[in-house]
Homo-oligomer: A and B are copies of this chain.
Amino acid sequence: MLEIYKGALEVKEIESRWLDLAISQNCGAFIKFVGIVRDENSIEGLSFDIYRPILERWFESWQKRADENKAKLFMAHSEGDVLLGQSSYIAGVLSPKRRVALELIDEFVEDFKASAPIWKYDLVGGERIYAKDRSTAIKGSGLLA
């Protein structure tokens, strides 16, 4: 389940809905990663661009991999501006087994950071500044160089 929202995530609403779904699936282990925008580097917040077609494919390929372990993946992400103390990202793994959930959330979040087609900007003085230094070139980059 992949959800994209304009602006900050309504974390409580999302977590509440996902919990109801988790219970209905009779799975014992539900693990979630929540990303919160921190007050650092004098930013007012973050802003995100998303390219949905490739994000959806990336997510589907991860869900296929999770299917092999009878796990279900969840993700919510913001598009546009997200201010300090707000949340921009939640990833979740629901699984019958604890070990599957703990291992998959780690790989899923790390690959998200390395591969998901999302671009981050710092909001400073009302401007959107590309977070170049914190960004990662996707595997295979440089093909046209």
Chain A positions within 8 Å of B, measured between CB atoms, are 11-12, 15-16, 19, 22-23, 26-39, 85, 96, 98, 101-103, 105-106, 109-110, 113
Which 6 interchain pairs have the tightest Cβ spacing?
Answer: A30-B34, A28-B38, A23-B85, A102-B106, A31-B33, A12-B16
Q: Which residue of B lies closest to A12 (CB)?
A: B16
Q: Which residue of B lies closest to A20 (CB)?
A: B12
**A122 CB, min distance to chain B CBs, angstroms:** 14
**A21 CB, min distance to chain B CBs, angstroms:** 11
CB neighbours of A39 from chain B (8 A):
26
CB neighbours of A34 from chain B (8 A):
19, 22, 29-32
CB neighbours of A102 from chain B (8 A):
33, 105-106, 109-110
Bound-state CA distance A76–B123 (Å) is 36
CB neighbours of A16 from chain B (8 A):
12
**A108 CB, min distance to chain B CBs, angstroms:** 10
CB neighbours of A103 from chain B (8 A):
106
Bound-state CA distance A22–B37 (Å) is 11
CB neighbours of A27 from chain B (8 A):
36, 38
Q: Which residue of B lies closest to A93 (CB)?
A: B33
Residue A36 contacts which of B23, B37, B38 (CB distance < 8 angstroms)? Answer: B23
Identify the interface centre among A23, A27, A39: most chain B CB within 10 Å of its CB. A23
